[in-house]
């Protein structure tokens, strides 16, 4: 019996053993194939990065070499700088550097891209490169040269020593590893070089493009925890009755110190709010309760939102768009001055469609637009009729108004705003009140409803 059983089991076990070996070999081959593919992608991205950084250095040098009167060549050079920087940023994102401190290098490339783009899109015949901007470009040229030298050392080591990017990924993922790796050390050196670039040398173009929300632009005194708590209770009114209100300070070492407020009532839902420490301005609030039904129509919900804004001191705000999801209506409002819409000064209101309760407010744009004095409308030099002549003949105008928007240099511009359709899509086209030319074109998503 045992002989018969063994005669059956032995071939079966043998087949299983051979099968497991074959399966393991195939798995190993597939794993190696994936690793080789990933390594090839990393190597390609790295060598492309080195190539584009070299071209970036060359393009900066060529742009500096042309005459100050050659605005066409300067613009062409700046556009190429912007393109090459964007490609370099994309290639950095493809490398396994997520756990490596490389934020200074990424910020440096972002600033170059922004500087080149904002400078190239303006009319250089009317606004030529300033001495400060030329000085910035010279400094960029020198920094790019030193970065390329360091990249060249890393590239030489990768080629000569057959270094693998997969080893870099493993080294950075290891908690116990001292991260002693030629590639890692090289990129740390690059990040340090780029981070050494002077912050105040960027000039007006990049500064305006990279405007950050900062308490320096706000007015008012520094608020205490008790003062913010009182503001939150007054804002919420009956919603805060019987609730536990907690206030904690956030971002004390950042450009925008703020207070976070949590209002805990019945159930598991907590109302969240953020206030600026300076001036005590409400940036946003959210009541994340579930809204399970829709009982209110568009007009009723819009009236609820408008009454809420008036009640809380947000004056002269006009609804421009409406969206709806999960039984919540979302209205976008802009500030208006004598009928002129000030787009940088906007906020959004969320209305629960079951009972009309306001369950959200986003007001940070409004807070900082007020502080940055973007509220002057003025009078356009070009008439509505003259501006309309510049529209595509196939564009069907549905509505018109005067509006203030921000241009690529973050400067307020008075425009003739034409809202209409072309090619079965709805657009806002902003024609400059100064020149009559297109300042900006904005497509309106199908899901978003325009309020006339």
Confidence of residue 202 (pLDDT cuts 50, 70, 90): very low
The pLDDT assigned to 447 comes to: 76
Mean pLDDT value across residues 164-187: 58
Q: How far, in Å, CA of 218 to CA of 225, rounded?
A: 18
**CA torsion angle 336 342 344 350 (round to 10):** 40
**333 and 203 fall within a common domain:** no
410 and 322 fall within a common domain: no
188 lies in the same domain as 71: yes
pTM comes to: 0.64
pLDDT at 2 over 60: no
Query: Going by C-beta distance under 8 Å and a sequence separation of 6 or more, which residues neighbour residue 445?
Result: none
Q: Would you say residue 214 has pLDDT above 80?
A: no
pLDDT on residue 184: 65
Q: What is the pLDDT of residues 150-174, one digit of tens each?
A: 778 777 776 776 667 666 555 555 5
Q: Is the pLDDT of residue 106 over 80?
A: no
Residue 259 lies in a domain: yes
- Asked, for residue 156, whether it belongs to a domain, the answer is yes
* Confidence class for position 93, pLDDT limits 50, 70, 90: confident
Residues 408 and 284 in one domain: no
Alpha-carbon gap, residue 384 to 389, rounded angstroms: 9
The verdict on 258 and 283 lying in the same domain is yes
Same domain for 346 and 423: no
pLDDT, position 261: 93
pLDDT digits (tens, 9 = 90+) for 6-25: 566 656 656 666 666 656 55
Q: Which of 341, 371, 401 is the last residue of a domain?
A: 371
**Residue, of 65 and 177, whose pLDDT is higher:** 65
pLDDT band at 140 (very low <50, low <70, confident <90, very high): confident
Give the residue among 178, 191, 183, 185 at the shortest CA–CA distance from 161.
Answer: 183
pLDDT given at position 410:
73
pLDDT digits (tens, 9 = 90+) for 390-411: 999 999 999 999 999 987 767 7
* 200/219 Cα distance (integer angstroms): 24
Last residue of a domain, one of 181, 209, 237: 209
Q: What is the pLDDT of residue 99?
A: 46
Per-residue confidence band for 256, with pLDDT thresholds at 50, 70 and 90 = confident
Q: What is the rounded average pLDDT of the residues 345-363?
A: 94
| CA distance linking residue 29 with residue 213, whole number of Å | 52
Has residue 336 got a pLDDT over 80? yes
Q: 218 or 33: whose pLDDT is higher? A: 218
What average pLDDT score do residues 317-328 get? Answer: 92
Domain boundary pick from 209, 233, 249:
209
Given a cut of 90, whether residue 113 has pLDDT beyond it is: no
- Claim to verify: residue 19 and residue 112 sit in the same structural domain: yes
Question: What mean pLDDT, rounded, does the chain reach?
Answer: 80
Domain for residue 146, yes or no? yes
Do 151 and 254 belong to one domain? no
Q: Identify whether 219 is part of a domain.
A: no
Tell me whether residue 378 is in a domain: no
**Confidence (pLDDT) at 289:** 87
Same domain flag for 121 and 263: no
Greatest distance between any 2 Cα atoms in the chain = 107
In a domain, 182, yes or no: yes
202/256 same-domain check: no
Same domain, 275 and 298: yes
363 and 390: one domain? no
Segment among 19-28, 150-159, 414-423, 430-439 with least mean pLDDT? 19-28
Q: Is residue 220 part of a domain?
A: no
Residue 6 lies in a domain: no
pLDDT for residue 197 is more than 60: no
Q: How is residue 263 written in tokens?
A: 């209002």
Bigger pLDDT: 115 vs 310? 310
Query: Residue 434, SS3?
Result: coil
pLDDT computed for residue 395 by the predictor: 93
**Which residues fall within 8 angstroms of residue 197, CB to CB, at 6 or more apart?**
108, 139, 140, 143
Token code pair at residue 136: 């910035």
Total domain count, the chain: 3
Instruction: Look at residue 65 and tell me whether its pLDDT is greater than 60.
Output: yes
Closest CA to 406 of 381, 451, 373: 373
Per-residue pLDDT at 51: 85
Question: Residue 153 belongs to what domain range?
Answer: 11-209
């Amino acid at each position: 019996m045992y002989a018969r059983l063994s005669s059956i089991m032995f071939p079966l076990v043998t087949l299983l053993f051979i099968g497991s070996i074959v399966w393991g070999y195939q798995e190993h081959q597939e794993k190696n194939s994936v690793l080789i593919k990933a390594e090839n992608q990393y190597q390609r991205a790295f060598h492309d990065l080195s190539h584009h950084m070299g071209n970036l250095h060359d393009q900066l040098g060529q742009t500096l070499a042309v005459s100050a009167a050659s605005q066409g060549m300067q613009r062409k050079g700046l556009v190429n700088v912007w393109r090459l920087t964007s490609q370099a940023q994309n290639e950095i994102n493809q490398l396994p550097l997520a756990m490596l401190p490389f934020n200074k290098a990424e910020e440096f490339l972002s600033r170059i891209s922004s500087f080149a783009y904002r400078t190239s899109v303006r009319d250089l015949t009317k606004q030529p490169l300033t001495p400060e901007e030329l000085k910035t470009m010279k400094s960029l040229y020198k920094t790019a040269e030193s970065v390329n030298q360091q990249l060249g050392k890393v590239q030489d080591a990768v080629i000569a020593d057959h270094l693998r990017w997969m080893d870099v990924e493993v080294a950075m993922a290891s908690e116990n590893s001292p991260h002693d790796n030629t590639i890692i050390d090289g990129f740390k050196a690059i990040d340090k070089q780029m981070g050494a670039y002077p912050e105040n040398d960027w000039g007006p173009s990049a500064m305006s493009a990279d405007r950050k929300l900062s308490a320096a632009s706000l007015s008012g005194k520094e608020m205490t925890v008790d003062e913010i708590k009182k503001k939150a209770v007054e804002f919420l009114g009956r919603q805060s009755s019987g609730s536990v209100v907690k206030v904690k300070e956030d971002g004390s070492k950042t450009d925008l110190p703020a207070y976070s407020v949590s209002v805990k009532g019945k159930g598991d839902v907590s109302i969240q709010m953020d206030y600026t420490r300076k001036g005590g301005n409400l940036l946003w609030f959210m009541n994340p309760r579930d809204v399970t039904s829709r009982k209110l129509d568009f007009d009723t919900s819009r009236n609820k939102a408008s009454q809420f804004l008036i009640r809380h001191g947000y004056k002269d705000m006009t609804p421009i768009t409406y969206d709806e999801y999960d039984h919540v209506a979302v209205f976008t409002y802009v500030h208006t001055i004598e009928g002129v819409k000030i787009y940088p000064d906007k906020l959004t209101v969320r209305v629960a469609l079951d009972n009309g309760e306001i369950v959200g407010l986003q007001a940070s744009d409004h807070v900082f637009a007020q502080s940055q004095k973007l509220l002057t409308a003025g009078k356009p030099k070009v008439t509505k009729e003259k501006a309309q002549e510049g529209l595509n003949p196939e564009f069907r105008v549905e509505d018109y108004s005067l509006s203030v928007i921000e241009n690529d240099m973050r400067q307020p511009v008075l425009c003739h705003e034409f809202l209409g359709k072309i090619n079965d899509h709805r657009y806002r086209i902003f024609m400059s009140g100064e020149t009559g030319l297109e300042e900006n074109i904005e497509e309106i998503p199908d899901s978003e409803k325009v309020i006339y």
